[in-house]
Amino acid sequence: MDKINETIKTQLAHRTIREFTDQKIPDDVFELLMEVGRHTATSVGMQACSIIRITDSDLKKEIAEVCGQEYVARAPELMIFIVDQYRNYQIAKEKGYTAETAKDMDRFFQSFTDACLMAQNIVTAAESLGLGTVYLGSILNDSEKICELLKLPEMTFPVLGLGIGYPNQNPMKKPRMEMKLRVFENAYSSFNNYLDEIKDYDEEMKTYYDLRDPEKPLGSFSDQVVRRYMQSNPRRSGILNVIRKQGFDLKIKQS
Amino acid sequence: MDKINETIKTQLAHRTIREFTDQKIPDDVFELLMEVGRHTATSVGMQACSIIRITDSDLKKEIAEVCGQEYVARAPELMIFIVDQYRNYQIAKEKGYTAETAKDMDRFFQSFTDACLMAQNIVTAAESLGLGTVYLGSILNDSEKICELLKLPEMTFPVLGLGIGYPNQNPMKKPRMEMKLRVFENAYSSFNNYLDEIKDYDEEMKTYYDLRDPEKPLGSFSDQVVRRYMQSNPRRSGILNVIRKQGFDLKIKQS
């Protein structure tokens, strides 16, 4: 399609990169990535998310342990995006307002959204410069531990980790299901038989996993769905308890 | 800086566009944006977010009413990104698994993150094609109403709205605070006096608002923080009650 420009070419070529060369990311490149982060859209202009850049190698190892992914410790750049209502709460306090509404869950979700938008903007910029990236949702395997490790104050919370570096691998692109299963018009629409709908995709994923690692065939997409759902971790599913511990007011009504 | 390529140039030029020309977005452009969405990183490959594309003009008006922003009804393309654990839950059920863990809050947050990453990827692609975009966090003014309007089934939830079209305005770029206030090394670091730190930024924002609309001067950034925190809406802050109503298991321990 003639609409495909360099930006979109980068976006369509996205793959997760987990192995990086030893090359450091130059300072001016890192700063440019932060500039892109700074220019990302932010809910009602509040800029209520922040980044913790991890440069300490022992800390990297501790985070890698939470993630259960040893390669995390080897990422040339590692950053954790966080919900941050702390900064604006202090600003309001300094102006003489107690602003307990800073602790409301809609603020939390605004910050959480800001953090994700910023992360993706930085990922696209990094990939456009030939860098590789890996998202680390696995920091939430133990969000309480991450709060401790990063000394996160009240009204902050970890959202997502991100590793960046120069790629030292050339993995295949992971197939995705068709968008007709994911884009609906005016209302949600269900399918009568999902396994039927994803039959080809299931096959495609099976082949992908077989080729990726013949020693460790992971089966089809639907096999993976079941496998993932069977894994349950109370430290993960109890995330709201940690969010409350960080000072947010859940505002749950008795059910 | 010589590192600035076309992609990054687009990202650094980001502004919210609220007024669009009548020109429709061509089908092939819309499809390309969906392709970019499809290629976005997704937590453990689960692709657990979806898009509701709003084409019905009455429905657009109802959504605009929830948002409290009449221009929403006039966006040539309007889409709502949603948490979607429903699809994979059905897939697991069809394979004979009840998969109640689909309702856990860590799945919810995985989906929420997926939805935000996809939205930002689509925004960058759209802007690279000369389109303008406006995020609509305001759909969460009444998330329950949005669930009704879009007929969202259990284990789905609205995250973020997005309007796209050809720009019919040329707004100034909104100034942002310095990244030294937002990027920390290895641990969160507080400042002794935030109002001091943002003094120049506060002035810059005041000038920005004055120039943007001399009839409606909004004051400094810190004024805005206070103003926003003073606004509290029980339908917004009670968001977790609607998330629970949509079938998610909050897993809150007695405090």
Model confidence, pTM: 0.98
Q: A188 and B50: CB-CB below 8 Å?
A: yes
Cβ–Cβ under 8 Å, residues A217 and A210: yes
User: Looking at residue B2, what is its pLDDT?
Assistant: 65
User: Looking at residue A42, what is its pLDDT?
Assistant: 98
Give the C-alpha separation, B31 to A214, whole Å.
Answer: 34
The minimal CB distance from A91 to the residues B88, B183, B225 is found for: B225
First CA to last CA distance, chain A: 52
Nearest to B179 by CA among A120, A246, A30: A30
Give the C-alpha separation, A218 to A226, whole Å.
Answer: 12
B187-198 b/e (C-beta count within 10 Å ≥ 16 → b): ebeeeeebeebb
Q: Which of A83, A100, A182, A199 to mutate to test the interface with B (most CBs of B within 10 A)?
A: A182
Chain B: residue nearest A8 by CA?
B125
Chain A: residue nearest B243 by CA?
A252
Cβ–Cβ under 8 Å, residues A81 and A133: no
Q: Please report the sign of the dihedral spanned by the C-alpha atoms of residue B135, residue B138, residue B140, residue B144.
A: negative
Sites in chain B below the pLDDT cut of 70: 1-2, 255
A204-220 b/e (C-beta count within 10 Å ≥ 16 → b): bbbebbeeeeeeeebeb
Nearest to A227 by CA among A241, A235, A237, A217: A217
Chain B: residue nearest A125 by CA?
B8
**Residues of chain B contacting A63 with CB distance shorter than 8 Å:** none
**Residues of chain B contacting A239 with CB distance shorter than 8 Å:** 105-106, 109
**Residues of chain A contacting B97 with CB distance shorter than 8 Å:** 226, 229-230
User: Looking at residue A212, what is its pLDDT?
Assistant: 87
**Residues of chain B contacting A142 with CB distance shorter than 8 Å:** none
Q: B232 and A56: CB-CB below 8 Å?
A: no
Q: A50 and B188: CB-CB below 8 Å?
A: yes
Q: B97 and A230: CB-CB below 8 Å?
A: yes
Give the C-alpha separation, A250 to B2, whole Å.
Answer: 47
User: Looking at residue B26, what is its pLDDT?
Assistant: 97
User: Looking at residue A251, what is its pLDDT?
Assistant: 95
- 3-class secondary-structure state, position A170: coil
Q: What residue has token string 């770029």?
A: B173
Cβ–Cβ under 8 Å, residues A211 and B226: no
User: Looking at residue A191, what is its pLDDT?
Assistant: 97
Query: Max Cα separation, chain B?
Result: 63
Q: A106 and B233: CB-CB below 8 Å?
A: yes
The minimal CB distance from B239 to the residues A13, A92, A109 is found for: A109
| pLDDT tens-place values along chain A, 255 residues long | 568 999 999 999 999 999 999 999 999 999 999 999 999 999 999 999 999 999 999 999 999 999 999 999 999 999 999 999 999 999 999 999 988 899 999 999 999 999 999 999 999 999 999 999 999 999 999 999 999 999 999 999 999 999 999 999 999 999 999 999 999 999 999 999 999 999 999 999 999 999 988 888 889 999 999 999 999 999 999 999 999 999 999 999 986
Q: How far is CA B244 from the centre of its chain?
A: 21
Tell me how long chain A is.
Answer: 255
